[in-house]
Amino acid sequence: MQSSAPRTISHAPWISPAEWAAFEASGTNAHRICSITGAWVERFGQDLLFNYQNPSQLERLRDEWAARAPAYPFTPQRIFGRALPVQNADRMAPVLLEGDPGEPVETVVTEAGMKIGLDFAAGYSVGLFLDQRANRAALRSYRPRRVLNTFAYTCSFSVVAALAGAETLSVDLSQKSLDRGKTNFTLNGLDPAAHRFFADDVQETLPRLARRKEQFDAIILDPPTFSRGNKGRRFRAEDDLEALLRSALELAAPGARILLSTNCTKLNVPELERIARFSLKAARMNGALQQTPALLDFPRGTAASTVWIQLR
């Protein structure tokens, strides 16, 4: 899920050269480099993406980057700009601001050695949500055997799980996104034919899986703030996340872990914890709630709100 309405920024806007070097040392070349209120800058391999609400923010960030760039061991191949609209219907793909327009808009980035393909012309989102990096690392460290990745998009959670040896099922309404996910499997030397991909409405798929008595050791619930599924069926995170979690609990194997995550500004971590506890009680299940470490490139309040549920 892409970050939606920006929240309060509470640290230095630009990461330091030492922090940049730490990303490089970890095999990661996709991360934020700057955050101000209402705007931010992301690095994707050899490219930069400036995200902004108004032109004055873009001008400010480009001026600041020009002044700071010599401190970083990096020269961008291209610079893209992406306006942040108030309404989802107004979302547009990033626009090339600097660089050769004849260069392919597809590229590949790395995160802790994992490869993910991006496409700057595919739509508003380029292919990887950076604020889920710690959750992807956590999933990989859990080494689950069977993983259900809902609202899977380009399947980055599925890829990290498969790299840890898991069988994965990726569910997303968009076949195009799942096809990009299969490409990400291939980029990492994984055979997509050994995994499952369902182009379907998550809200309809989970009950079907439950009727088939399927169980998973890890379940990823990172839905969009708002979407429409099959036959125009609406999903609104603030209204429907609890029901989604309760459906997922029916698929959880003993000791499973469930990621509950959202960029909906009305659902902060305490609210997610309330939803988790209420759902566990309703399902007559026990579980502990856990947090992943904060991301150094995402100031407090700018990344997705997240809770991991560890079933007991």
- How far apart (Å, rounded) are the C-alpha atoms in residues 295 and 288? 22
Please check the confidence at residue 1 and state whether its pLDDT lies above 60: no
pLDDT, tens digit, 9 for 90 and up, residues 81-101:
999 987 777 889 999 999 999
DSSP strand E in the chain: where? 30-36, 39-44, 47-52, 78-83, 95-98, 106-111, 114-119, 146-150, 167-172, 196-199, 216-221, 226-228, 234-236, 252-262, 287-290, 305-311
pLDDT, tens digit, 9 for 90 and up, residues 140-152:
999 999 999 999 9
pLDDT, tens digit, 9 for 90 and up, residues 242-298:
999 999 999 999 999 999 999 998 999 999 999 999 999 999 999 999 999 999 999
More confident residue, 9 or 155: 155
Overall average pLDDT of the 173-188 stretch: 97
Calculate helix-pair angle for 156-163, 133-142, nearest 10 degrees.
30
Tell me, what's the pLDDT at 70?
96
The domains located in the chain, with CATH, are: 17-119 (3.30.750), 130-311 (3.40.50.150)
- pLDDT tier for residue 12 given thresholds of 50, 70 and 90: low
The model's pTM: 0.93
Please check the confidence at residue 301 and state whether its pLDDT lies above 90: no
